[in-house]
Amino acid sequence: MTGQKGYIDSVNAHYTPGDLAANVLNILKANGKDLDNLSPDDLALVDQLHTGGKGATLELAKMAGLTPDMEVLDVGGGLGGAARTLASQYGCRVTVLDLTESFVEAGKEFTRLTRLADRVHFELGNALQMPFAANSFDRVITQHSTMNIPEKPKLYSEVYRVLRPGGQFVFHEIMAGPNSPIHFPVPWARESAISFLIQPQEANDLLTGLGFREVSWKEDEAGETMEGTAGRLSVPSGQPGATPQLGMHLIFKEDMKSIFASVARNFAEDRLKRYFGIFEK
Ligand X SMILES: C[S@@+](CC[C@H](N)C(=O)[O-])C[C@H]1O[C@@H](n2cnc3c(N)ncnc32)[C@H](O)[C@@H]1O
Please report, as ranges, the residues that interact with ligand X according to CB under 6 A: 11, 15, 48-50, 76-78, 81-82, 97-100, 103, 126-128, 143-145, 148-149, 187-188
Nearer to ligand X, 38 or 155 (CB): 155
Sign of CA dihedral 148, 75, 19, 243: positive
* DSSP codes joined into one string, 218-251: EE--SS--HHHHHHHHPPP---TTPPP--STHHH
Nearer to ligand X, 28 or 86 (CB): 86
Asked whether the beta carbons of 204 and 174 are under 8 A apart, the reply is no
Asked whether the beta carbons of 28 and 246 are under 8 A apart, the reply is yes
Nearer to ligand X, 151 or 202 (CB): 151
Q: How far is CA 213 from CA 137, 163, 222, 276, in A?
A: 17, 13, 25, 15
* DSSP codes joined into one string, 61-111: HHHHT--TT-EEEEET-TTSHHHHHHHHHH--EEEEEES-HHHHHHHHHHH
Nearer to ligand X, 37 or 229 (CB): 229
- Taking the complex as a whole, the smallest distance from the CB of residue 193 to ligand X amounts, in Å, to 12
Nearer to ligand X, 34 or 277 (CB): 277
- Taking the complex as a whole, the smallest distance from the CB of residue 146 to ligand X amounts, in Å, to 8
Sheet holding 163-176, edge to edge: 120-124, 93-98, 71-75, 137-143, 163-176, 272-280, 213-219
Determine phi and psi for 118, rounding to 5 degrees: -75, -15
Nearer to ligand X, 70 or 75 (CB): 75
3-state secondary structure of 47: helix
Q: Which residue is nearest to ligand X (CB)?
A: 78
